[in-house]
C-alpha cells in the first residue's frame, strides 16, 4: 500500500550525532502480487558536519 504525502522523520548522523530532520516522499509500497517491489532512495546531508546520508524506502 502506498502513502499519500511525505513522511517526516528525524534521523541521527553517524559522524557527529546531530539530529537531522528530513522527509521521505511516498513510495509505491510493497505489493504481494508484484515481484518487482522497488527499493527507492534519497540523499541528504547533515547540516552540522556535512556528512552525506542515504535513506532507502519502499
**DSSP letters spanning 3-56:** -SSPEEEEEE-TTT--EEEEEE-------TT-S----EEEEEE-TTT--EEEEE
Mean pLDDT of the chain: 84
Question: What global pTM score does this model have?
Answer: 0.63
Which helix (H) or strand (E) element contains residue 19?
strand 19-24
CB 23 within 8 Å of CB 8: yes
pLDDT tens per residue, range 32-56: 776 666 788 889 999 999 999 998 8
pLDDT digit string, tens, across residues 18-29: 999 998 888 777
Tell me how long the chain is.
58
Amino acid at each position: 500500500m502506498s502513502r499519500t504525502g511525505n513522511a517526516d522523520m528525524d534521523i541521527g548522523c553517524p559522524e557527529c550525532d546531530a539530529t537531522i530532520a528530513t522527509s521521505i516522499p511516498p513510495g509505491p509500497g510493497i505489493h504481494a502480487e508484484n515481484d518487482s517491489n522497488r527499493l527507492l532512495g534519497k540523499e541528504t546531508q547533515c547540516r552540522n558536519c556535512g556528512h552525506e546520508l542515504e535513506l532507502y524506502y519502499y
